[in-house]
């Protein structure tokens, strides 16, 4: 979901920058930077950033200054972990803000909605699944592909609805009529596409998916 700076109040813009600053500081401090020594990993990360940027160009406008699109942030999180998924979102969003003229003031709140929230939801669900669910390929795929991606999109759109309401962009009736009805229409394709792409990566390039361990999920070895 993209928001234009002109539609947002100053408190929302400031809150976005505060959230972005905390997440950026934590990510820079804790990121496993040694992984950048691998040239292939660098190329895959850059390629996925471009893929995300390209996907975010395919959007549908539902209101002046508000547009919807798929995220694929759960897939990024499964591939790279929290920090590098976040950096990929920041890179892709630079291009989106410039291309669509959203206004640089709204960069942070868009990063919060399109990156930080789905990344944290995805990672939290992944950790819960790794702890409590069976170490099985199909469980991993359906849980981390479909369920996690779908729930992440629901979380993003729920928080977006709150932002739209607080900033008087849409009132209660408009939210239900012009926004809430899109939640299942966005969440289901997000889950299906994430599942399909995650499955293809596991079969073709499992080493590109940081959270997938062949011995664990194919051979049930701890």
Percentages (nearest 5) of helix, strand, coil residues in the chain: 80, 5, 20
Range of the domain at 86: 2-219
Contacts 24+ apart (CB under 8 A), 180-189: 182/62, 182/68, 182/157, 183/153, 183/154, 183/157, 183/158, 186/68, 186/70, 186/153, 186/157, 187/150, 187/151, 187/153, 187/154, 187/157, 188/150, 189/70
Question: How confident is the model at residue 112, as a pLDDT?
Answer: 97
Q: Look up the CATH number of the domain holding residue 85.
A: 1.10.1760.20
Comparing CA positions, the residue from 195, 201, 81, 204 lying closest to residue 142 is: 195
Question: How confident is the model at residue 99, as a pLDDT?
Answer: 86
Q: What gap in Å lies between CA 159 and CA 167, rounded to an integer? A: 12
Cα 117 to chain center, whole Å?
A: 7
Which residues on neighbouring strands pair with residue 60, listed in sequence order?
A: 68
Q: Angle at the Cα of 107 (from 104 to 111), degrees rounded to 5? A: 170
Question: How confident is the model at residue 175, as a pLDDT?
Answer: 87
> Number of folded domains in the chain?
1
Sheet strands (E) in 30-144: 60-63, 66-68
Question: How confident is the model at residue 174, as a pLDDT?
Answer: 83
Q: What gap in Å lies between CA 100 and CA 41, rounded to an integer? A: 29
- In the chain (222 residues long), the average pLDDT of successive 10-residue segments reads 87 96 98 93 96 92 81 98 98 92 91 97 97 93 97 96 91 85 94 98 96 85 58
Q: How far is CA 206 from CA 27, 52, 76, 89, 112, in A?
A: 24, 20, 14, 22, 29
């Amino acid at each position: 979901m993209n928001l234009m700076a002109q539609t947002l109040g100053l408190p929302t813009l400031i809150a976005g920058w505060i959230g972005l600053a905390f997440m950026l500081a934590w990510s820079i401090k804790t990121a496993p930077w040694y992984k950048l020594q691998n040239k292939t990993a660098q190329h895959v990360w850059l390629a996925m950033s471009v893929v995300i940027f390209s996907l975010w160009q395919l959007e549908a406008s539902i209101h002046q200054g508000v547009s919807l699109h798929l995220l694929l942030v759960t897939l990024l999180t499964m591939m790279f972990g929290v920090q590098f998924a976040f950096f990929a979102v920041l890179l892709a969003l630079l291009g989106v803000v410039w291309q669509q003229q959203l206004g640089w003031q709204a960069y942070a709140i868009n990063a919060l909605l399109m990156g930080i929230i789905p990344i944290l939801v995805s990672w939290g669900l992944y950790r819960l699944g790794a702890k409590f669910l069976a170490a099985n390929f199909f469980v991993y795929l359906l849980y981390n592909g479909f369920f996690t991606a779908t729930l992440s999109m629901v979380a993003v759109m729920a928080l977006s609805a709150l932002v739209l309401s607080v900033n008087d962009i849409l009132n209660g009736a408009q939210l239900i009529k012009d926004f809430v009805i899109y939640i299942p229409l966005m969440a289901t394709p997000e889950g299906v596409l994430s599942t399909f792409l995650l499955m293809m990566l596991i079969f073709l390039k499992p080493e590109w998916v940081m959270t997938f361990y062949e011995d664990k999920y194919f051979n049930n070895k701890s």
